[in-house]
Amino acid sequence: MVENGRDTLISNMRRTLAGLLLATLVLAVACHSPNAQRHYPLTGEIIAVDRAAHQLIIRNDDIPDFMKSMTMPYAVKDPAALDHSQIGQRIKATLVVTRTESWLEDIQVTAQAPADAAAPQSELQIPAEGTPVPDFVFTNQDGKHVHLAQYKGQVVLLTFIYTRCPMPDFCPRMTNNFREIEKSLKQDPAAYGHTHLLSISFDPQFDTPTVLRQYALSTTSIPAADLFPHWEFLSPQPKDLDATGHFFALSVWREKQGAQSGAITHSLSTAIIDGNGKLYRWYHGNSWTPEELLKEVKSAVGSGN
């Protein structure tokens, strides 16, 4: 009886251990699935409505277990929610985050905008294709000064990021997309030799050369000797940031007071510059794909611009 009881106990323990192991494996698979969703309660104030980009710019309160109070653009998939949104409204919503994107759901107004709420900001001045690009000066990940003019003769693909950006479908997506483009170009020696990639930070006070270098190596998983000769990570001088952003229709807002002092709100801007230093294509937002830009880059290379 003792032996039978012990055998039964061991058998039960084995079944329990197997069940726990299975549950752990299921949880691990779910956590690594690109479609796995995390949900966070969000509260905050609407400070801008960007219907063209399907976004609300929100000064959010602390989001427990995710990020501190910040002003950020949030994607909104429901057009009706955008139509009823007004600057100055206080809202509560659910922030849904996956490994590749994020958006707001279940948006509810908790307080209406005051009568004297600020008017919406004016539309961006979209850069015209064929316009000569100014010879902006940057500092790269090695601390060296570089000019856009030095890349004449090559097709340049550039985008704007900052290393502390927490939203997966903003700066991280831009970097991931560029990584895919870099890998594809590497497989086409003719196109690779006539192209150059630039990721430009709009947070130069934090994104020093050392920070940019570490960010580049950790996010691309490409060795420095292979990466930096073809894809550089840059930051402008703070005094030049406004002029650079204005040309490429990049909007950047910085909180200057209160608990969010230093927080950054930004749009997304990506551009292709042809071999003559002129704007070939410009893209707003994050809806473009690596395949789309790669096709345009190769077209610019093939045209001899």
The answer as to whether 119 is a domain residue is no
pLDDT single digits (tens) 137-189: 999 999 999 999 999 999 999 999 999 887 788 899 999 999 999 999 999 99
Q: Is 58 helix (H, G, I), strand (E, B) or coil?
A: strand
pLDDT of residue 120: 45
Domain that holds residue 48: 38-111
> Is 0.85 topped by the overall pTM?
no
pLDDT of residue 266: 74
Same domain, residue pair 284 and 168? yes
Nearest CA to 155 out of 196, 190, 208, 102 is that of: 196
Q: Which band of pLDDT confidence, cut at 50, 70 and 90, is reported for residue 211?
A: very high
The answer as to whether 143 is a domain residue is yes
CATH assignment at residue 242: 3.40.30.10
pLDDT of residue 239: 85
Same domain, residue pair 104 and 249? no
Same domain, residue pair 141 and 286? yes
Bigger pLDDT: 15 or 106?
A: 106
Same domain, residue pair 75 and 180? no
Nearest CA to 217 out of 209, 280, 102 is that of: 209
The answer as to whether 235 is a domain residue is yes
Total count of domains within the chain: 2
Tokens of 167: 């939203």
pLDDT of residue 25: 36
Across the chain, mean pLDDT equals 82
The answer as to whether 287 is a domain residue is yes
The answer as to whether 7 is a domain residue is no
Same domain, residue pair 105 and 231? no
The answer as to whether 276 is a domain residue is yes
Residue 2 CA to residue 5 CA, distance in Å, equals: 5
CATH assignment at residue 87: 2.40.50.320
The answer as to whether 107 is a domain residue is yes
| The pLDDT of residue 7 is above 90 | no
Q: Where are the beta strands (DSSP E) in the chain?
A: 38-50, 55-60, 70-75, 90-97, 102-111, 137-140, 145-147, 155-161, 195-201, 231-236, 252-254, 264-266, 269-273, 279-284
Which of 62, 95, 111 marks a domain boundary?
A: 111
Same domain, residue pair 158 and 91? no
Same domain, residue pair 286 and 216? yes
